[in-house]
Amino acid sequence: MSSGPTLKGLAAIIGISPTAVSMALNGRPGVSDELRERVRAVAEEQGYRPNFAARALRVERSNMLGLISRNLSNPGYLRLIDGFSGAAEERGYQVLIATSDLDQARETNMIRAMANRHLDGLAIAPIDGEAVLETWQGESDRPVVLVNAARGARSSAVMSIRGDAAQAVRSAVDHLLGLGHRRIGLLANAGLSSASERVSLFRRMMKGAGLPSRVISGSTADETVKRVVRALARPDRPTAVITDSDLLAHYVYDAAAEAGLRIPHDLSVVGHDDLPTSHLLAPALTTVAVDRFEIGRQAATMLIGTLNGDEIERPHRELPVELRVRNSTARPSD
């Protein structure tokens, strides 16, 4: 005897996303009363039955939270993990940690694996926040918080926390403009929705200054260095480069050396994260400091507060960032 469609199957029948179906069936805000009634009517008509294991978890807890990072080769995520794990363990939760390695198929598999472990909640630094929400909410009715995600991934059914992206881009651009730079490039990690958002912010700010925007993107370290080297070899090369991370800034240092350029005399560089090693670079890196530890800590407390039935103040949070000026930026030489 058939047990009826799955949540995903029900979504396909109605013609909406699994996220919207989950929100409608579980009484969450974010869908209209009309759609909620329609979903419930079709669910009854189709014989849809929720996952009883998931339903049982509403009263039984595993006391485990999940955390999926994008890339553990970036030390910034280690600080995030420290903050998240510490806050969770203080409240009696264990943490299961995984990484997507910037691979969307792997990210989907990790989300499903964590849902199958019946975790009480998930924090994830997504490649694409919208796709993550659809996958998780199609597999689990437990809370999720997006970390360092693009603003467009927000919805009334999810929490999010990140550094202030607009402030980060603006502080870097204003600093370089103030030094007299007019040929400024942005180095972004291709494929990340959050990187696409920073690209849009950068283009808007450069347009506001009456200047062209130069965007360099790559998905791997080797590809990134090659593209930066090519950009730096052109006659109209940028005199300054803003990067999405301090890790990418390290690659720019390598590319500048390969191109025979001196930092900051020939090329100014601005990073993002303020890793513990960034002030040790030669020259010390000017960078936008983001408190990854605090982001991780607050992500855990938001999840646990939701599980405890608390009303979460500011479910979508942007923490302030700070530009730390060091020796990798100076007035352009030409």
Mean pLDDT by 10 residues, the chain (334 residues): 67 84 69 84 78 45 90 85 95 93 90 90 89 86 90 72 95 98 90 83 96 85 78 92 91 90 97 92 97 96 90 92 98 88
Residue 26: inside a domain = yes
275 and 198 in a common domain: yes
CATH number at 77 reads 3.40.50.2300
My answer on whether 151 and 296 are in the same domain is yes
Within a domain: 219: yes
> Within a domain: residue 56?
no
User: 282-310 pLDDT, tens per residue?
Assistant: 999 999 999 999 999 999 999 999 988 88
Q: Which CATH number fits the domain that encloses residue 27?
A: 1.10.260
* Residue 124 counted as domain residue: yes
52/58 Cα distance (integer angstroms): 10
Judge if 106 and 140 occupy the same domain: yes
- pLDDT value of position 5: 76
Same domain for 21 and 94?
no
285 & 296 share domain: no
Residues 191 and 279 in one domain: yes
Rounded distance between C-alpha atoms, residue 150 and residue 106, angstroms: 20
- 58: buried, middle or exposed (CB in 10 Å: 19+, 13-18, 0-12)? exposed
329 within some domain: no
DSSP 159: E
Count the domains in the chain. 3
pLDDT reported for residue 53 = 40
Q: Are residues 202 and 152 in the same domain?
A: no
In a domain, 244, yes or no: yes
273 and 298 together in one domain: no
Residues 6+ apart with CB under 8 A from 289: 273, 274, 321, 322, 323, 324
Both 297 and 149 in one domain: the answer is: yes
75 and 94, same structural domain?
yes
**Residue 215: its H or E element:** strand 214-218
Strand-pair partners of 269:
241
Q: Which residue range forms the structural domain that includes residue 14?
A: 7-50
Does one domain contain both 19 and 129? no
Residues 101 and 153 in one domain: yes
In a domain, 86, yes or no: yes
pLDDT one-digit tens code per residue, 66-102: 999 988 878 888 999 999 999 999 999 999 999 998 8
User: Do the domain assignments include residue 142?
Assistant: yes
